[in-house]
Amino acid sequence: MHSLVLTAKKTIKKYEMLQPGDRVVVGVSGGADSLALLHILWEIRRDFHLSLLVAHLDHGLRPEAGQEKSFVRKASADLGIPFFSRKVDVRQKQKEGGLTLQEAAREARYAFLLETAKSQKATKIALGHTADDQAESLVMRLLRGSGTRGLSGIPPVRDGIFIRPLIEVWREEVESFLKEKKVAYLSDPSNRSLHFLRNRVRHELLPILQQYNPRFRQTLVQMADLFRAEEEFWQKLLEEKYPSVVRSQKRDSITLDVPSLISRSLPLRLRIFRYAIEKLLGHLRRIRLSHILSIDGLLQNPEPNKSIQLPQGIGVAKSYQTLIFSKAKEGVVPFEHSVPGPGYVEIPEIGRGMRFEVQARRPLVPFEDSKCVAVLDFDSIDFPLIIRSFQPGDRFQPLGMEGEKKVKDLFIDCKIPAARRKRIPLLFKEDRLLWVVGVRIDHRARLKPETRRVLRVELL
């Protein structure tokens, strides 16, 4: 038996991922990791008396998706495994939900896998995440400023149904296994694009860090294991202590007792804040450690009445002896943030941020086909800039047009829902609108033949 199969079996037993007779949906994209996962589960199916199903999702993003679907269908048929697929419009989901493209794709993928499992009465969903994915995720979360929960990484088992049998094997082991077994797989060209943060971490940052510590990836994985064990301990303690600080809990608000909170240790307090937000939202997406620390700052503030606004429409108000977490009906408050120079600017009101880079123009710069990136003529612009929310009367000259247009009319033409318009940042130089972020740049801010300096702006 191949060493990779033995490692996967050890991981499965270590985390009790499978039980005899399990019916398992295997998420297969056609890439190396998912094909290796499929073949490993097929090899050990008799050991666990497994029934396997293959699920493949077309995100509607790339023209080669039809070929990928056919490839995965054939790979499934060669093993005699039932095949299920679906196509979704991830870009439409992104627009409707005000999500990043990656968030929309992830939500669509998990929804499809869960629906397939439910309709086929499957008990587990197997995913092909590897130790490399774990290491890369940890670096990305460090860069975002995650707390220890985020630094616990990708869980081997989640919600008792999602399992990751390859989470303790490395990508080079996967590729060696496929080569030895003569299993063909597809290479996703987007995995080489440095537009995505994960790819920059994988191809640029991690190789640099490994110069300082050749075992840096292994160290990251060990850290994730340690943080995950600590978080399990804290979660049990949190569930025990949380009720004692709650004064009232309603559908859209939770009121906590200030004296009880102050008497708790800082690590427990921060977890209580996060727990309250998760109860209101059902998730912690875009809630960062900086937001949780700002709540503690509010708690310690000597003023009896003060409030702050967090992403996802969460408001936190201190009123004498109470700390009130509320979920606003209106998801976004007006915002305005200064951009003093190159770097990163956070927009907490919408849970996003923007990165600014000034570059010398190069003769052959690859075109970035992303609505989240704008490349502007920096010869005619200078810092500081302003990021703010939409206001009635805002106007600009859309790229390719001669005259000006109301931003409101642009939103209507692009069929952007009214509720989402308040989440779209506008980038200004004084009173000159440069970019309706993610929608259209101003014609006068475009790159010109004589442009020498480029401002690259990315919505994150």
pLDDT by residue, tens only, the chain of 460 residues: 789 999 999 999 999 999 999 999 999 999 999 999 999 999 999 999 999 999 999 988 888 888 999 999 999 999 999 999 999 988 888 777 667 778 888 999 999 999 999 999 999 999 999 999 999 999 999 888 788 888 999 999 999 999 999 999 999 999 999 999 999 999 877 777 777 788 899 999 999 999 999 999 999 999 999 999 999 999 999 999 999 999 999 888 999 999 999 999 999 999 999 999 999 998 887 788 889 999 999 999 999 888 898 888 899 999 889 999 998 655 567 889 999 999 988 887 787 889 999 988 876 555 556 788 999 999 989 899 999 999 989 999 999 888 899 999 999 988 887 778 888 999 999 989 999 999 999 999 999 989 999 999 999 8
Decide: helix, strand or coil at residue 430: coil
Say yes or no: 184 and 274 in one domain: no
CATH code of the domain covering residue 288: 3.30.465.60
What is d(CA 423, CA 351) in angstroms, rounded to the nearest whole number? 9
Say yes or no: 292 and 211 in one domain: no
Say yes or no: 343 and 398 in one domain: yes
pLDDT of residue 39: 97
pLDDT of residue 419: 72
Number of domains in the chain: 3
What is d(CA 251, CA 367) in angstroms, rounded to the nearest whole number? 47
272 CB burial (10 A radius; 0-12, 13-18, 19+):
buried
Asked if residue 213 belongs to a domain, the reply is: yes
Asked if residue 207 belongs to a domain, the reply is: yes
pLDDT of residue 188: 76
How crowded is the C-beta side of 438, counted as CA atoms within 13 Å?
21
Domain that holds residue 91: 3-226
Q: List the structure tokens of 344.
A: 């990163």
Residue type, 122: A
Verdict on whether the full-model pTM lies above 0.95 = no
Taking each helix axis from N to C terminus, what angle separates 171-181 and 3-14, rounded to the nearest 10 degrees? 130
Say yes or no: 318 and 374 in one domain: no
Radius of gyration of the chain (CA): 25
Decide: helix, strand or coil at residue 84: strand
CA dihedral 319, 321, 323, 329 (to 10 degrees): -40
Say yes or no: 62 and 97 in one domain: yes
